[in-house]
């Protein structure tokens, strides 16, 4: 039975698997759901799943999912009480949050003030320093003058990072190694930041070479209660985009885990934060540094749900309704190990470029410890306008070794035909000794030539037939890994 006082109707201002995930949480609470969809998504699964659905325009997001006025018009027409933004699109847009509240609609996320604070990396870092949260060394102010930038960089010590204060998604970040590069790079990053985010503020911080990327899930209610749900390791990245996440992290012991969790809670409370969010840290040599806060639900939240046995989507609805959190900090424990694999439509032989198209065959993995969050079906055409994700494969096991073995089985069971996918990438990573040992950083992919290995694996798969296909392909992977290791040992 649903709790008394809940919002009774919610519009999901997003698409795909995240729209379905939120609708599932709503359905379990007897909350009516409203979908919005572009022309390109008229046959999408999330549209069929919703209680009501409204068309909001043409395929490109700028003509549909990003048009705030259209979304509000639908919300008012459908008489919804809340809007859940999912992730991406307008999820971290404080102006949209304000527009919702102006029209008497609850934004199912953090308050506008927290979004604005954490949306500016400069303001966020300044507030964290004042709260005693460890941050990356640097100068937390906007830099526009080349000579001042060079002076700061020499004081901090090259290499340094230039970062757009309003940046996100890996955009507006550039490492600079010397004065000449600073002269060449500063203005281009400012222009990129202005064009991408409407804010040309750029700051300088010390470049932390080869760190691990560890984030902590937090959630708070409107009464000031904030808890953390422990960490996720997100170091398997390509072009600053996460591809595999796991929890717990192999880098942390329990004392450090608890300490970082407390810092994440402090960060959230300092921002006056409620609802779900994530504190991002860089970690190296036993030290951690606050990086930024993502003021939204994360793509990888399911693995946290699996090991903590919580429902973050449900808690978001509780908080938005003004209810207390269901959990206190002492209720949260970690059980087992979980990993998430982002299954994307992309071409390994074309620099892993997005490869949208029609899915002619689709069969999901199943069995103990397997969860699939997806929004596709056989015959569905992946549009070219959005992220190329097909599904998220979430795997839980009693321990990390068993989770990896179960993940291999699940990847083998996933049958996706008609489009190229990055499943070979995940299979290669699960065979690599450094990943198996839990000894990897954000440079894992380039350092070990993982993409080259994937291409060799993919080519071998295509060349083999029948039962020999898998064995021959993995033999090629093992030989390639061995060759890379020998070359690195000689250097």
Is there a contact between 66 and 83 (Cβ–Cβ < 8 Å)? no
> What is the C-alpha separation between 24 and 294, in angstroms, rounded?
23
Is there a contact between 79 and 9 (Cβ–Cβ < 8 Å)? yes
Neighbouring-strand partners of residue 342: 392
> What is the C-alpha separation between 273 and 404, in angstroms, rounded?
35
| CA dist list (Å): 231 to 244, 263, 300, 329, 334 | 14, 12, 11, 14, 10
For residue 225, how many other CB atoms are within 10 A of its CB? 16
> What is the C-alpha separation between 443 and 315, in angstroms, rounded?
35
Q: Which of helix, strand or coil describes residue 166?
A: strand
Is there a contact between 203 and 124 (Cβ–Cβ < 8 Å)? no
Which tokens in the block code for residue 73? 């018009």
For tokens 């919580």, what's the residue?
310
> What is the C-alpha separation between 364 and 377, in angstroms, rounded?
10
Is there a contact between 85 and 296 (Cβ–Cβ < 8 Å)? yes
Rounded to 5°, the CA angle 171-424-419 comes to 80
Identify the DSSP state of 421: B
> What is the C-alpha separation between 183 and 298, in angstroms, rounded?
36
Identify the DSSP state of 358: B
Is there a contact between 394 and 371 (Cβ–Cβ < 8 Å)? yes
CA 70 from chain center: how many Å? 26
Identify the DSSP state of 349: G
Instruction: Tell me the H-state helices in 29-145.
Output: 45-49, 68-78, 94-102, 112-119, 121-131
- Rounded to 5 degrees, what are φ and ψ at 326? -80, -15
Residues in the chain: 491
* CA dihedral over 96, 290, 139, 186, signed as positive or negative: negative
Q: How far apart are the first and last CA of the chain?
A: 64
> What is the C-alpha separation between 141 and 143, in angstroms, rounded?
6
**Which residues are tagged catalytic?**
296
Is there a contact between 397 and 55 (Cβ–Cβ < 8 Å)? no
């Amino acid at each position: 039975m649903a709790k008394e006082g809940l919002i009774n109707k919610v519009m999901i201002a997003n698409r795909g698997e995240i729209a379905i995930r939120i609708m599932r949480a709503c359905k379990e609470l007897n909350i009516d759901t409203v979908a919005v969809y572009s022309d390109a998504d008229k046959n999408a699964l999330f549209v069929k799943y919703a209680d009501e659905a409204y068309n909001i325009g043409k395929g490109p997001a700028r003509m549909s999912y990003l048009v705030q006025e259209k979304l509000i018009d639908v919300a008012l027409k459908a008489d919804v009480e809340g809007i859940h933004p999912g992730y991406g699109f307008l999820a971290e847009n404080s102006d949209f949050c304000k527009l919702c509240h102006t029209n008497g609609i609850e934004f199912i996320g953090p308050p506008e003030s927290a979004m604005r604070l954490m949306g500016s990396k400069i303001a966020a870092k300044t507030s964290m320093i004042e709260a005693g949260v460890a941050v990356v060394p640097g100068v937390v102010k906007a830099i526009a003058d080349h000579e001042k930038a060079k002076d700061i960089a020499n004081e901090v010590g090259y290499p340094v990072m230039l970062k757009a204060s309003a940046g996100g998604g890996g955009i507006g970040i550039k490492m600079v190694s010397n004065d000449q590069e600073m002269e060449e790079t500063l203005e281009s990053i400012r222009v990129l930041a202005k064009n991408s985010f409407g804010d040309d503020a750029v700051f300088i911080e010390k470049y932390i070479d080869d760190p691990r990327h560890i984030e902590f899930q937090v959630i708070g209610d409107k009464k000031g209660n904030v808890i953390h749900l422990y960490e996720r390791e997100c170091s398997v990245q390509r072009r600053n985009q996460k591809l595999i996440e796991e929890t717990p992290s192999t880098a942390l012991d329990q004392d450090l885990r608890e300490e970082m969790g407390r810092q994440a809670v402090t960060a959230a409370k300092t921002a006056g934060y409620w609802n779900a969010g994530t504190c991002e840290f860089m970690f190296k040599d036993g030290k951690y540094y606050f990086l930024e806060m993502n003021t939204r639900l994360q793509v990888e939240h399911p693995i946290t749900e699996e090991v903590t046995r919580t429902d973050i989507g449900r808690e978001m609805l509780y908080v938005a309704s003004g209810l207390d959190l269901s959990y206190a900090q002492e209720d949260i424990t970690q059980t087992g190990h979980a990993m998430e694999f982002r299954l994307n439509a992309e071409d390994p032989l074309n620099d892993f470029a997005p490869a949208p198209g029609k899915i002619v065959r689709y069969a999901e993995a199943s069995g103990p410890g397997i969860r699939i969050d997806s929004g596709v079906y056989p015959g569905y055409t992946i549009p070219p306008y959005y992220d190329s994700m097909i599904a998220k494969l979430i795997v839980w096991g009693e321990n990390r070794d068993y989770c990896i073995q179960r993940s291999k089985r699940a990847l083998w069971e996933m049958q996706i035909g008609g489009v190229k996918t990055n499943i070979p990438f995940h299979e290669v990573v699960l065979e690599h000794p450094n990943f198996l040992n839990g000894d990897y950083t954000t440079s894992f992919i380039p350092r070990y030539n993982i993409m080259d290995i994937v291409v060799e694996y993919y080519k071998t798969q295509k060349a083999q037939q029948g039962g020999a296909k898998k064995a021959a392909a993995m033999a090629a992977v093992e030989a390639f890994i061995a060759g890379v290791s020998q070359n690195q040992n000689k250097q």
